[in-house]
Structure 1
Amino acid sequence: MKKILFFLPFFVASCLLAFAQEEKTEAKEVTREPIKFEKSFSGTFNGQKVDYQAIVGETFLRNSKGQVTAGLWSTSYIRKGVDSSKRPVTFIFNGGPGSASFWLHMGFFGPKVVKTDSGATVDDGSAPYTFVDNPQALLDITDLVFIDPIGTGFSQVEGVGKNEDFWGLNEDARSIAQFMRIWVTQNGRWQAPKFIAGESFGTTRAAKIAEVLEGGGQTMAINGIVLISQALDYAGSSSWEDNLTSFFTYLPSMAATAWYHKQAGEGRTLEEFVQEAREYAYGDYLTALYKGEKQSEAEKSAIADRLVYFTGLEKDFILRSDNQILMHRFKKELLRDQGKAIGTLDGRYLATETDKAAEGPVLGDPSSYMTSAAYTSTWNDYLTRELGVVMDRPYYTSAPSMGGNWNWKPVPDGAYWEPSYVSTARSLSEAMHRNTAMKVMVANGYYDLITPFFDAEYTFARHNFPQERIEMKYYEAGHMMYNRQEDFDALAKDIRNFITQMIQ
């Protein structure tokens, strides 16, 4: 803190302060080399023996003056013994914002993966956890680069950098795009096919990055993007009061989840029941949402009857909710009579609640806390024991204090902007129109209660997306569909086919 002093003490303090500031500036100069850990491995992927190099390391990001602003960490798996100049590379990150990439790393894309209960009925418990080779990893066809944004993992500001330089929608995209260009340059991959895979907010980020990469004097075109549990337009994934879009987009996910727990859809297959919910959402329900109090009591009652049919909730509760069911209430209400709440990331998960009268779940998200210890423990063990990484600070799986300091504004500082739902959908659509070879695969979980599959359909039906270059895929699990083994297998096959068709 600066203190205001007077007379002679002020002069002395000013001199000392100037000296301290000079020292602080000098201390910000980064003279060391980036930290790096390398090890060689061999594995069998898709039936092919692959020798590869694992590189866990730091890349310095710099400002326009060439000053170091941050050290961004990544884990790269690079195949050895092949001509790498045109070998595909896939850049992978998770979401949050504020999440490190270890979820997709440990859960799906890595050469080794953690296994939790595929049926979503058993808690991950305590160590030791199941950690196995992943023969379905993509290292036979593409190198893999897992990116930890600034503030996550070991990534942090360095030199003259500040957190606010990176903690924002635009700032984040620029920093990841800068890293990608540096990595491609250092590894001689400008002529190689390039892919991005993002999950949750990572899909928001991916769309923005695709836009950023097409400018800045270093145009880099992306061949394909895999969006896992997409969140491009937040109006359809924000279950808040008065957000009419969300009541529309969440209804089919509620129906699917009610069907799974045998509260609705008896005698119907999942696909049949989901399709029925889609059609109702686009029809009478959408009209009712926008008519509001212009409906008669009889019309409201008729809508409530149909919502009972799709959600399995009591009619009295639905009417008291004004035929608008908030997701946190649905998660508590669906199995309230059993004293259980269902998961957010994956509605298959259940938890016995300590407060059975609460409006929403009180313990948190069972689909998160029933799996997260296994992911965190296996990652930290793998990082040190197998990858040989030794650091004097912890690996942050999520960024401390980032959430409340994140800048969601899609416009530069100083530009006029009125608050609205975050959306990078138009950014991706425009990038696809500029790059007519780019394709997008969208992976959706039926029981995802945070980024609903119907919102993905609604989003990609708008914004002038080139429909012939969009692939929609569906899985019978939730946000992290790869936690269910059948979906892990299907997702691996779908992504492999998606990449292969563009590199042959």
Structure 2
Amino acid sequence: MLAACYTASTFSSEKEPKPIPDPVMSITQHKGTFNGQRMSFTAKAGETPLKDKDGDVTAHIFSMSYIKDNVKDSATRPVSFIFNGGPGSASVWLHMGVFGPKKIVIPSDAEDDGAAPFSLLDNPDTVLDVTDLVFIDPVGTGFSRVVGEGENKDYWGVKEDAKSIAQFIRIWLRENGRWNSPKFIGGESYGTTRSAALIEELEGRWDDVSINGILLISTILDFTIDTYDQGNEMPYMVQLPTMAATAWYHKQVNTELSLEEWVEAARQFALREYAPALLLGPALQGQERDAIKRKLAHFTGLSETYLERANLRVHFQRFNKELLREEGVALGRLDSRFKGEEYDNAGEYPETDPSFYGIDGSYTAALNHWVREGLQFNPDREYTIIGGVTQWNWSLNGEGRRQPYLNVAPYIGKAMRGNKDLRVFNAAGYYDFATPLLGAEYALQRNGIDPERVTYKYYEAGHMMYIHHPSFAQFLIDVREFILAR
């Protein structure tokens, strides 16, 4: 008979610690001409370890930094930290679409991007002439991931995410000797939510990282505008100017007004007539109701019969299906200039978003080609564009669920009261149903935010206004002016 042989570890209930891979960094040298200025710059593509309160490494954040060489005084050279949204999106869109030294060029007028090869070109318009750029991929996006004993839940939430990005920024400033540089943070879509939560983490402590400016691109700060719960009238009001712009673009309205004039007329109707009418509920009757219905049809291009059936309240996805139903196409959510053919023309909502599948292939190819070939960071794993984050803690108070009234705009107001130099740049596309322009105005024009320090800019495109070539050029002019105005 063989005797069983046991070691102490056989009965141990302790788990073997997970190995923590060493962070990898690729540093390459480049030259380019940006805004007419010839310059050399260093690109750093790699991982930054994040630690928990016990000092253990629990995540690696992947970032791509572009830093101007031979700067005599870094206190005169701004640095901008850029990210996208989702939550769960990598920074690919702002990186390859508008801000980075390379850009993907796709059709300007809402056409599908097709298949490879795509046009990846130098970006002479980038603001790298006036600011260093750091593109950040939050945990679960890009190449960023938890390591060791780290858990996704420690990073996937409004507060958790902001804390991790704040930790990364503090590390980056220390490692690159940039504590006294002017600092900007900026994001797109949920990235604007992140910006507001992040400003609280950076400036809400005794050891502040004071920020010079926030770039809000396609803004969502107050989530009541995106909550179509029965009884909440806010989404219908804030979406109306975007519906009007969309109907104008597709020539479904009768007007000689310019786009800007038409949207302003719709804005005033939404605020001064439509919103009060919605609040009246069933008390809106007779001629008063007919007048509102008539004006609503005038601005949206929808029939009065349809509007009556919808009780004067049209979800934007219903609008995107209904406006060009006779043509058998539905419109995009991110950019309502895009039209998509539908299998079921009788459906209530679009099958999918043609303004997303019309661009995703080109951006995926461009990012992987540039990072793996140009920046020489080429790990044996996939770069997660979007979709890697599966759960999100929407609570600001730790309850783990979206609060009935989720609004991060007060963080910006608070930061402005404590920082007299903090300014805000708000960029909105006229054809953006994901983050409608009036929703941004609604959040920024209250909540203690100083209106004198907010710059509003509007573009004849959608959520990612920079895919429209004229808007791309104007957007970078506007951002450059904002940074230089410090």
Deviations 1:167-211 (A, max 9, x none): 000000000000000000000011000001110000000011111
Cα distance change on mapping 1:47 and 1:17 into 2, 3 Å: farther
User: Aligned partner of 2:450: which letter?
Assistant: P
Q: How does 1:43-58 map to 2 (within 5 A)?
A: 43-58=32-47
Distance 1:13 1:284 in 2: 79
Deviations 1:139-192 (A, max 9, x none): 111110000000000100012210000000000000000000000000001100
**1:476 maps to 2:466:** no
**1:89 maps to 2:79:** yes
Query: 2:215 matched to which residue of 1?
Result: 226
Q: Alignment partner of 1:229: what SS?
A: strand
Cα distance change on mapping 1:14 and 1:331 into 2, 3 Å: farther
Deviation at 1:218, TM superposition (A): 2.9
Q: Alignment partner of 1:341: what SS?
A: strand
Distance 2:238 2:180 in 1: 40
User: Aligned partner of 1:105: which letter?
Assistant: H
Distance 1:381 1:22 in 2: 39
Deviation at 1:222, TM superposition (A): 0.3
Cα distance change on mapping 1:418 and 1:125 into 2, 3 Å: closer
Deviations 1:446-503 (A, max 9, x none): 111111111111111111210110000111101100001100010000000000111x
Q: 2:100 aligns with which of 92, 110, 115?
A: 110
Percent identity for Structure 1 against Structure 2: 45
Query: 1:356 matched to which residue of 2?
Result: 345
**1:410 maps to 2:396:** yes
Q: Alignment partner of 2:478: what SS?
A: helix
* Bigger Cα displacement from structure 2, 373-382 vs 296-305: 296-305
Query: 2:91 matched to which residue of 1?
Result: 101
Query: 1:3 matched to which residue of 2?
Result: none
Query: 2:446 matched to which residue of 1?
Result: 462
User: Aligned partner of 2:50: which letter?
Assistant: L
Deviation at 1:50, TM superposition (A): 1.1
Cα distance change on mapping 1:51 and 1:17 into 2, 3 Å: farther
Deviation at 1:331, TM superposition (A): 0.4
Query: How many positions carry a matched residue from both structures?
Result: 481
Cα distance change on mapping 1:153 and 1:306 into 2, 3 Å: same
Distance 2:227 2:335 in 1: 16
Q: TM-score normalised to the size of structure 1?
A: 0.92
* Bigger Cα displacement from structure 2, 42-51 vs 453-462: 453-462
Cα distance change on mapping 1:105 and 1:240 into 2, 3 Å: farther
The answer on whether the counterparts of 2:396 and 2:403 sit within 8 Å (CA) in structure 1 is: no
Query: 1:4 matched to which residue of 2?
Result: none
Q: TM-score normalised to the size of structure 2?
A: 0.96
Q: 1:498 aligns with which of 473, 482, 485?
A: 482
Distance 2:350 2:195 in 1: 31
Distance 1:113 1:468 in 2: 33
The answer on whether the counterparts of 2:329 and 2:342 sit within 8 Å (CA) in structure 1 is: yes
User: Aligned partner of 1:410: which letter?
Assistant: L
Cα distance change on mapping 1:444 and 1:206 into 2, 3 Å: same
Query: 1:170 matched to which residue of 2?
Result: 159
Deviation at 1:350, TM superposition (A): 0.6
Query: 2:60 matched to which residue of 1?
Result: 71
**1:325 maps to 2:295:** no
Q: How does 1:103-502 map to 2 (within 5 A)?
A: 103-120=93-110, 122-239=111-228, 241-362=230-351, 364-400=352-388, 402-403=389-390, 405-412=391-398, 419-502=403-486
The answer on whether the counterparts of 1:89 and 1:192 sit within 8 Å (CA) in structure 2 is: yes
The answer on whether the counterparts of 2:46 and 2:377 sit within 8 Å (CA) in structure 1 is: no
User: Aligned partner of 2:419: which letter?
Assistant: N
Q: Alignment partner of 2:477: what SS?
A: helix
Q: Alignment partner of 2:219: what SS?
A: coil
Deviations 1:37-62 (A, max 9, x none): 11110000011111011111100000
Cα distance change on mapping 1:464 and 1:216 into 2, 3 Å: closer
Unpaired stretches in structure 1, ≥5 consecutive residues: 1-8
The answer on whether the counterparts of 1:250 and 1:454 sit within 8 Å (CA) in structure 2 is: yes
Distance 2:9 2:282 in 1: 69
Deviation at 1:240, TM superposition (A): 5.0
RMSD: 1.8
Deviation at 1:15, TM superposition (A): 6.6
Q: Alignment partner of 2:39: what SS?
A: strand
Distance 1:479 1:321 in 2: 26
Distance 2:203 2:11 in 1: 44
Deviation at 1:297, TM superposition (A): 4.1
Unpaired stretches in structure 2, ≥5 consecutive residues: none
Distance 1:229 1:473 in 2: 11
